[in-house]
Amino acid sequence: MKSKLIILTSHSTFESGGVGTHLATMKSSLSNKNHTFILGLSKKESFVAKVISTFLNLIGFESVSLIVKSLSLYKELNNVLQKNIGTHSYDIITHDRYSALAAIIAKYRNKDKISITQVLHAPFSEQFLITSNNKTIYAMAKFLDIAISKQIDKVIGVDQLQIDLEKKIECDNTDKKYIVVPNAIDVKKLDLVNTSAFGRNKYAVIVRHLHEKNGVEYGVRGAINYISKSSNPIFDKLLVIGSGPLKEKLHKEFHEDIKANLIEFKGSLSNMEALSFIKNAEISIVPSIPVGNYIEATSLTMLESMYLKTPLIASNIGGLADTINHLKNGFLVEPREHEQITEIIFEIEKGTYDIEKIKETAYVNVLENYSSEKWMNKILKFSESE
């Protein structure tokens, strides 16, 4: 009997944007086919796991917190598999290392009935490096990288860097298959984004989680420098949308600019609210920086800005540089070089570039190459290949 396809993720909902957007599209497209979606945690389990993990982190047991989350994922996957294991084999696509671990544990119990395809956004250990300095957690994460690498059968990298990093990990699986499939966006959803006037002055926008790798401080400096120096600015305020561990640091660093009403930290918003702000902005900035081997891949904010025809300034790294053709469909600056951001905005103000042509080129590029449907078809074709 033909294998059933399971899409496994640690997300507790499809409404969170990012990977959740892709999964929602896949779920809708596969609803009439012989495939199964498994959210790694139900909403109730997700809440309980978060409470327990937070408590363990507070009392210094971060490594135990990791184990609790991984075991919760395994429980969810195992419950579903046991209902069907007698009559079906499975191809499992996992979207994070937590769910990969859960799939591997299931594979050990049912060796001949499970094949695993792993979607890689960054090595597990690198993901922990940007959120924790705990040496025990990093050592565990490195171990998981190696252990998981040995068991997965196919690898989907969001960019070539992820494939290269995976190949460097010590593993015995010489028959493993690889493919690069960049991130994508649900263009049908973006067509519904509000385009009406916001009733406010013109603004630029940075939509980013407030983590070191996203380089928000450099984007803020570039935009604020422009507003402060221009006698006729194309925007007079910067909106920063998102939250994260650097929130307090950024608020403190730019306190005077907040008081001067040059910048507004809006915190976390729903995906559609954030998209509306991008759509109505004069400029969108994605100022990511490399942190170890954690380098921005195909940023969803980048793709969303391009499709919504908002001029984009982004760092010349990773998937950003792979997607943006400087002066053709957007603008590239070197990471951390906030002065370059300021300079480009001044050139836009002067009318140096054909902005309308750049916006239209960006829109067409995304429509033709980065839609969720095309992303889904590539992943399914690869997963189902022998």
pLDDT by position in tens, the chain (length 386): 456 677 777 665 544 455 555 566 666 656 555 566 665 556 666 666 666 666 656 655 555 666 666 666 666 666 766 666 666 677 888 877 777 877 887 787 776 678 888 888 877 777 666 666 667 667 777 777 888 888 888 999 888 888 888 888 766 656 788 999 998 888 888 999 977 655 567 999 999 989 888 999 999 999 999 999 999 999 999 999 999 889 999 999 999 999 999 999 999 998 889 999 999 999 999 999 998 777 888 899 999 999 999 999 999 998 899 999 999 999 999 999 999 999 999 999 999 999 999 999 999 999 999 988 888 788 878 877 76
Nearest to 29 by CA among 291, 360, 375: 375
Per-residue model confidence (pLDDT) at position 6: 72
d(CA 129, CA 294) in angstroms, rounded, equals 9
Per-residue model confidence (pLDDT) at position 240: 97
Per-residue model confidence (pLDDT) at position 10: 64
